[in-house]
Homo-oligomer: A and B are copies of this chain.
């Protein structure tokens, strides 16, 4: 490709709306242009990246036995009504009516459509397992679309659905996908971790998220510091290692202390001169059943996902000031479990092990000391409801956990019979007995993976594409386009590289070399070949590695082999 016929308009400044680096760089380097909030034009450079990612995905899906199909983007409401999601999905679902006033949705996901398809076409155990996937635009009407390709309203996803006879079959399909995903992100040249994630309140099924590690990642990941241990989990999922060791202290009598205006753990611990871990933090929540009190140790944070799952409720919100006042008789900051009436108390495991702890007195400006669970209040539900932190032991091997930040680019999920049961997708087994098909779903955000690659691979000058998903492998820059000997040499190498399968851009624009160098760094070609007067005279060109800045002086007849060798390492 010649730069003069490539639409890759670079910009010096990123648009004000671009808050994160991938958004800024993808706009500045001429990969994307905004059409509406969360809706983008993908320019030619983006297409090349997306096609490479898609090709890697296709190869691994096919290798794992997947069959590609394509389902509609406009989905009739009836199927969503049958599954019950038409009403549940809320404003994130783009909805429209056709000319005959029939309701449709723009698909954010395709469980309904594919389950309905399989219901119609699969009748026998002989047709299972079945792995069906598509790569396609998806739609989600985000309240606040931002972050460029990381959180758009229109984005490209690969979604595969597995159909099995039973749970064991699902386990096999799940692991196939798990391994395929591992290969995909490895082949994309990304540093990532599959992490255990929460599967939501309904069902206790397995799910893993595939996280591309990047400091800017929106999610916290905990992983085992022991290299031989594979444990890694989303911070919302990570389980605490609880050793049930009660402090050996004599129980002392309850007593109320004045704590004027001392509301936070820090204030109370300083004021009373006790460690935060001696404090019982009491936080009130509201769900569809009423108000609950969640207790964790003062040095811990409530994990609301764990809490939600433990309570088995559908929603969970922090209780407002008025609710707290009504429930405890005191302002926010002074709630405690002692004497709390008509409110369910759910406590973290560690709380039950406390002796002579401090808690709010349910009275303004007061705390109670020498609180002892069991003696002074009853725990209705005792379980793990707290956040785990880096430094705690790994639940798998006991080594120390470390923390990283990640961007979720893929998820594998065991659906079980959630959709097949409700939509009636069954098969006959060997004995002619009708059974419900067991499903899994497996997504990869294709445009998201591209953005995550940029978040992980960039420097102050621009993007640093992994070679396997770079829009082009190499750019050739003739320093002076008015010097025909430089241009001729550039053309010759350009022709040789292309015919050798190295995707190359010849920057034939009549621009200063400095401008071209800047653009090359910004766009992020893995290699840059500079052809100046010295190259012509000494018959060797300068090859520069974008990632490391290493420079090589390469004799003309070795350019192809050196380029290929360098690319093999990037």
A491 within 8 A of B: no
From A44, A65, A126, residue with most partner B Cβ within 10 Å? A44
Q: Does A25 contact B (CB under 8 A)?
A: no
Q: A33-B120, A35-B76 are in contact. Are A68 and B47 (CB under 8 A)?
A: yes
Q: Shortest Cβ distance from A89 into chain B, in angstroms?
A: 12
Docked CA distance A364–B44 (Å): 68
B69, B137, B143: the one contacting A99 at CB < 8 Å is B143
**Chain A contact residue count (CB 8 A cutoff):** 51
Query: Shortest beta-carbon distance, A127 to chain B, in Å?
Result: 8
Task: Give the contacting residue for A141; candidates B36, B69, B75, B98; CB below 8 A.
Answer: B98
Does A431 have its Cβ within 8 Å of any Cβ on chain B?
no
Mask for A30-45, Cβ within 8 A of B = 1, else 0? 0001011001111110
Chain B neighbourhood of A36, CB < 8 A: 72, 74-76, 102, 104
Q: Is the CB of A113 within 8 A of B35?
A: yes
Say if the beta carbon of A29 comes within 8 Å of chain B. Answer: no
Looking at A2-10, A301-309, A517-525, the stretch in contact with chain B turns out to be: A2-10
A5-B65, A9-B121, A121-B9 as given contacts; A39 in contact with B137, CB under 8 Å: no
Query: What copy number does this chain have within its complex?
Result: 2
Q: Smallest CB-CB separation from A48: which chain B residue? A: B68
| Given A33-B117, A126-B4, A139-B44 contact (CB < 8 Å) | no
Q: Which residues of B contact A71 (CB under 8 A)?
A: 35, 41-42
- Min distance, Cβ A493 to any Cβ of chain B, angstroms: 22
A94 lies within 8 A of B72 (CB): no
Q: Report the Cα distance A219→B147, complex, angstroms.
A: 48
B9 touches A73 (CB 8 A): no
Residue of A67, A74, A99, A130 with highest tally of chain B CB at under 10 A: A74
Q: Which residues does chain B contribute within 8 Å of A121, judged by CB atoms?
A: 7, 9, 33
A310 at the interface (CB under 8 A from B): no
A1-23, CB < 8 A from B? 4-7, 9
Decide if A41 touches B69 in the complex (CB within 8 Å). Answer: yes
Residues 152-177 (chain A) with a chain B CB within 8 angstroms = 153-154
Residues of B with C-beta under 8 A to A98: 94, 141, 153
Contact across chains for B94 and A69 when beta carbons are under 8 A apart: no
User: CB of A106 within 8 A of chain B?
Assistant: yes
Please name 30 pairs of A and B residues whose Cβ atoms are closer than 8 Å in the assembled complex, sorted by A: A5-B65, A7-B121, A7-B132, A33-B121, A35-B72, A35-B113, A36-B74, A36-B75, A36-B76, A36-B102, A36-B104, A39-B72, A41-B69, A41-B70, A41-B71, A41-B72, A41-B117, A42-B69, A44-B68, A44-B132, A47-B70, A50-B70, A73-B137, A73-B154, A74-B94, A74-B139, A74-B153, A94-B98, A96-B106, A98-B153
Q: Which residues of A contact B (CB under 8 A)?
A: 4-7, 9, 33, 35-36, 39-44, 46-47, 50, 65, 67-76, 91-92, 94-96, 98-99, 102, 104, 106, 113, 117, 120-121, 126, 130, 132, 137, 139, 141, 143, 153-154
